[in-house]
Every structure is written in structure tokens, then in C-alpha cells.
Amino acid sequence: MIKTIFFDFDDTLGNRELYAWNAYHDILKENTDLSGMEFEAVLQEVMIWDQKGDVNKNYIKEMLAKVFDIHLPYPDFNTYWDSQLYKYCVPMEDAADTLSYLEKKYRLGIISNGPSDAQRNKLKKSGLESFFDENMVFISGDFGIKKPDPRLFLKACELAGAKPEECVYVGDIFYRDVLGSWRAGMKPVWIINQERKCTVDIPVIHHISDLKKIL
């Protein structure tokens, strides 16, 4: 019996595709004199390099210098990015309504990779903070281990007083979210905003509100 639902945050509850685009947009506007088609070409290339946030941002800085001769002034772009991205954070359109529906039946929690302050600031900025008790928010930066390491999922379950087999985990990156939670004994749900084939039999959803249909 499912009692607890844990969520990833970026591109699951938060519309990271949108707020990352806006953040990169402003950073490039501040540090280049490009405009129009030239500017957009760089911005779209950066979004490809970003890989849904799954790369160190210093790689973006290096690629901008190498490919476009654009030199960002931040000594550690990764640290600067983490200090800025939360300011742009917005939730998925159906996130609040879905969480409001689910909280009546399940305990809700978050297990997310990233620096503690950065991820908690995103949650607060998104307007979704009220759906999660403080003791149900688990950020990798607080534990020194990251998804897909099953120890992070198991530690979250332990501290939440939840059995892994009674927990669903919803996330968008298969390797980190689906595999990691499955290894911990949780029931994974893969959320992805495009059609993609999958060779294993797991629930796949395209909108967070689809959880209402499968739970």
C-alpha cells in the first residue's frame, strides 16, 4: 500500500526548462552584445549543453569560450549559477493543484540533488513549500551523497519513518531518479515531457497531474 510520495524538484515540480532558459538569457544579455538571431543561436546551444541541468556549469563556461569566444567573468560559474537560478524558479502549471489533491491521501516529500540552500530557495520561490513538512525535504547537499546512490533514498525513508516499498518516487532523469529509487526498493514513476520508448514496465507520465490517474 502506497503511503508516501517523494518527488524530484527540477523538471518534475519546477519548470526548470523555463527558468533555466530565462537565467541563461539574462546572463548572456549581461555579458555579450549579441542580439536577434545570433543571440538566440547561442542561447539555444547553451540549453543543449546544459543537458537538463545534469552538467557542471563550468562546462558551459568553457564551451562558450571555445565555440563562441564568449568569456563569462565568474571564477566559478557553477557557484554563481546556484546563487542565481532560484530567482527565476516557477512551478509546473499543474503542480500546485496536483499536490493539493495528493496531500489528502499521502504524505508528500522531496528528494533532490543540489546544494541545500539553492534547492530550498527554489522550493520557496515556486510557491510549493507549504505542501511539504520541513522534515520531508531531503537535499543531497545535506548528506554528501547524490542520486542515483540508493543510500540517499533510503536515508530519506529512514528519517521520514517510511518503508521504501510503501513509497513512490517521481522524477525526470531515468538514471538518477528511476534507477536510484528502484534500487532503494521504492516504486518509481518516470515523468518526461516527450514520447520516448522504455524497455521496462514502469509507470510513465507526461504531466504531474497524470499522477491522479495512476495512484
pLDDT tens column, 40-54: 999 999 999 999 999
pLDDT of the residue at 196? 80
pLDDT of the residue at 197? 84
pLDDT of the residue at 43? 98
pLDDT of the residue at 139? 98
Task: Provide the Cα torsion 54, 82, 98, 100; round to 10°.
Answer: 150
How far is 128 from 209, CA to CA, in rounded Å?
15
What does the block give as the cell for 43? 542561447
pLDDT tier at 102, thresholds 50, 70, 90? very high
> What's the whole-number mean pLDDT along residues 11-23?
97
Q: Where are the domains of the chain?
A: 4-15+90-214, 16-88
pLDDT of the residue at 71? 98
Q: Write down the H helix ranges in 3-88.
A: 16-31, 36-50, 57-68, 77-84
pLDDT tier at 148, thresholds 50, 70, 90? very high
The CATH number of the structural domain formed by 4-15+90-214 is: 3.40.50.1000
Q: Which helix (H) or strand (E) holds 110?
A: strand 107-112
Task: Provide the Cα torsion 101, 102, 104, 107; round to 10°.
Answer: -160
- pLDDT of 132 higher than 90: yes
Nearest alpha carbon to residue 85 among 42, 120, 122, 30? 122
pTM: 0.94
